[in-house]
Structures are given as structure tokens and as C-alpha cells.
Amino acid sequence: MVGAGALLPATSGLFEDARANISASALAFEIVVGILIATVLPEEFAFRGLLLGAGVLAWGKRTALVATSALFGLWHISPTLSTMSDNAATADTASSPAGSVALVAGSVAVTFVAGMVFGWLRLRSKSLLAPVLAHLATNGVALTVAWLLLQ
């Protein structure tokens, strides 16, 4: 899916991100340390481990899945605000308040859906391994594709 997005003219510009303008060794470091250790593991333990587990006990699976996915989406407001100007395709939009709101709303919606998928994987597998691997693949492949496009 990410590869298709990178190949389509309408969406390929979304992968032109200044954060991917790094060396191959920096890419490997970023995937292992920046994405896996600093992002994926803490987020999966928090959202699909603690919050989803407690939510299931308190409200049941469906409500817990929706609630923790919504929180996961909202959690991404700050990172979106701090990085939306790094992407050539979104920098112009990010320069206006209305554009910034639209980008943040889009990010919240996309990460809500990702949270639903990761949460479903957690509930289905009864393990954090499946959502950890899916989350790592999502973020790692996106960064790698962006990196490849800049080479």
C-alpha cells in the first residue's frame, strides 16, 4: 500500500520528507532506535497494552477499542504540528491556520484507523507482538520509501 502511494503521482509528493534525507546507516539507526525503541514500543505498551487492557475490563472490547484508538489519534496532534512543515507536499497547507487544522484532523483520522487495526491485532492475537510488528512495519516502510525516493 505504501509502495503504491509512492508511485501514484497524486500521492507521491507526500513521501518527499526532509526527515528522510539521511544516510543509509542513519536510516537503520532511525528505524531501530527512533521508530522501534522510542516510538513503537512505548506507544504499543501504553495504548494496546495498558489502556486497551483496562478499557476492555471496564467497558468491553468494542468501546475500549474505539476509545483507545481515539486517544491514539489525539496523541498524534503534537507530532503532526511539529513535523507537517517538513514535508514538501504539505508545507504550503501548513502555513495557514485552516490548513494546519485540516492536516491535524487528517492525521488524527489516519492514526485513529491505525489504532483500530493495531488494537484489533492485539485483541485477536492476545499478544502485543502483532501490533508492535504492524506498527513498526507501517512507520519503518514509510520512512524507507521516503528515503528511497530521495536517493
Query: What pLDDT was estimated at residue 86?
Result: 82
| Contact call for residues 115 and 105 (beta carbons, < 8 A) | no
Query: What pLDDT was estimated at residue 19?
Result: 86
Return phi, psi of residue 22, to 5°: -135, 170
What's the predicted TM-score (pTM) here? 0.90
**Which residues have a Cβ under 8 Å from the Cβ of 73 and sit 6 or more positions away?**
107, 108, 109, 110, 111, 112, 115
| Contact call for residues 72 and 111 (beta carbons, < 8 A) | yes
| Contact call for residues 126 and 55 (beta carbons, < 8 A) | no
d(CA 46, CA 72): 10
- Ordered per-residue pLDDT tens for the chain, 151 residues: 666 776 677 666 667 777 889 999 999 999 999 999 999 999 999 999 999 999 999 999 999 999 999 999 999 999 999 988 888 788 888 999 999 999 999 999 999 999 999 999 999 999 999 999 999 999 999 899 989 988 8
